[in-house]
Structure 1
């Protein structure tokens, strides 16, 4: 096998991601014919076809799928090593945009201070992420890293530190019978509609915030859908439904028309630090390390 050219690898990865030679060329800032030329050169080195291309579609061959699975982590590791070398040579600088949902965690704020201590040439921007769109800002490159409510099961996102373990509470109208209780059981959720999230959040994430059934299998009535926490609390105050929130956020969003009752028997709420798999940098890694160094803080969730 001849010497492997990095441009051939990049062309193969771009075609594998886009399944379109034109878009792959735009991504690499080369012509479509140049992408084809690079891919053919790689296939000659391998000795077999990696991509099947017809007038209607582009798809990887089984060998191409196998090569992609092996090549992607190796290429990402190579990029990370070069980024680290550049960062060491120049010192980590630039801007890190940090997203958060709801209220920003104390632990995240501690991590920002530690990050600035360790990377004085960096600046940070703190950006609130819509409650209804936890992952969109990362994919649209509006933020570089984000603290979001779990779960996170996205293939294109990396889940780093999991933190801010918090018990769940139920927000109900102040005049509702639940408001007179000191605590609720998870099975009590079957007695009141749950307000849920609308928007582009994936279904598994929305169901985690407003489940359709109790742990014991009782159906939970569906309530209205909202895009923001404030919309949800307004509907709670109007007795249109209840809303699950973690304890610190319940304390932060105190509302005289709403009571917050602890719920026993539900899994705790957690936040996770997340970034896009294709946009990991020395800055994101440094912030992740800073958050890990802060330990378990008194973080706020949702």
Structure 2
């Protein structure tokens, strides 16, 4: 900041850069001014100052249209991501300085078990100024709510191989059980081996859940129905249309009289992980990740 409180980078004023980006979006001096709450003449002045500092024309304008010059297009392509990084850095510093406040929307898949609730409680005790909201994530769309901005972070079943998402702390490693109808031959068993499931139709999720994620939840080649929700899956299990792999806490939470749950030996444990958008990391998300890590 200079003595007038104006942020400068190598002689450039941030306001000049913001003006140029607004003009590049609007291609109209009046609309750019309205967007920045300044006059049209002020937009022209800021643009002239920027072009003088850089040493080239960035915008062509005539009585009929406004457009970027080739130099302006190159400058915009390099400026915008750098500006977004700078803005995010300033926002993070401001948020850190005033403490974690606002609202944190947390998605969960399956069951909000004791460990997740413990993490939420710990987070709220440490940051009483931040309100938490808990939202169930659809079984067949583990990553959609995070991607669409419906939640800030989500606790989902592994695996996670999404390049646009960050996988944070892992927790709640649990033995798998297989849900079967009370009339199924497995219903009276104390436990099963993984190889005994080879010919058993395992109900899986529909798209948009990625194929690799669906295969991990139903590792059986036998044809089986696909469902959108856990309740749909358990209803088909009760009807004898297939079986379904679930971790023990989810099995206990969704218990019903016409379905029984049998532990399975030799299959990978069910593991939950915290995910968030790579471009959506905030101090609230980082602090909640620490709270999750504390309960692991």
TM category (shorter chain) comes to: 0.7 to 0.9
Cα shift at 1:3: 7.1
Which runs of no fewer than 5 residues in structure 2 stay unpaired?
1-9, 19-24, 27-34, 37-46, 55-73
Q: Report what 2:264 is aligned to.
A: 263
Select 1:105's aligned residue among 109, 113, 117.
Answer: 113
Contact 2:104 2:284 in 1 (8 A): yes
Q: Report what 1:237 is aligned to.
A: 238
User: Which runs of structure 2 are paired with 1:159-238 in the superposition (5 Å)?
Assistant: 159-211=167-219, 213=220, 220-238=221-239
Select 1:89's aligned residue among 92, 97, 117.
Answer: 97
Q: Which has the larger radius of gyration?
A: 2
| CA–CA separation in structure 1 for the residues paired with 2:210 and 2:241 | 24
Cα shift at 1:179: 1.1
Q: TM-score, normalised by structure 2?
A: 0.72
| CA–CA separation in structure 2 for the residues paired with 1:263 and 1:252 | 18
Moved over 3 A (4+): 2-10, 74-81
- Higher RCO (Cα < 8 Å, 6 or more apart): 1
Q: TM-score, normalised by structure 1?
A: 0.71
Contact 2:96 2:283 in 1 (8 A): no
Q: Report what 2:274 is aligned to.
A: 273
Which runs of no fewer than 5 residues in structure 1 stay unpaired?
11-20, 23-28, 31-37, 46-63, 214-219, 297-302
Root mean square deviation of aligned Cα = 3.5
Cα shift at 1:141: 0.8
| CA–CA separation in structure 1 for the residues paired with 2:127 and 2:160 | 28
Cα shift at 1:76: 7.8
| CA–CA separation in structure 1 for the residues paired with 2:273 and 2:97 | 31
| CA–CA separation in structure 1 for the residues paired with 2:16 and 2:175 | 51
Are 2:166 and 1:158 equivalent residues in the alignment?
yes
Q: Give aligned pairs, total.
A: 248
Partner of 1:159, secondary structure, is strand
| CA–CA separation in structure 2 for the residues paired with 1:133 and 1:95 | 23
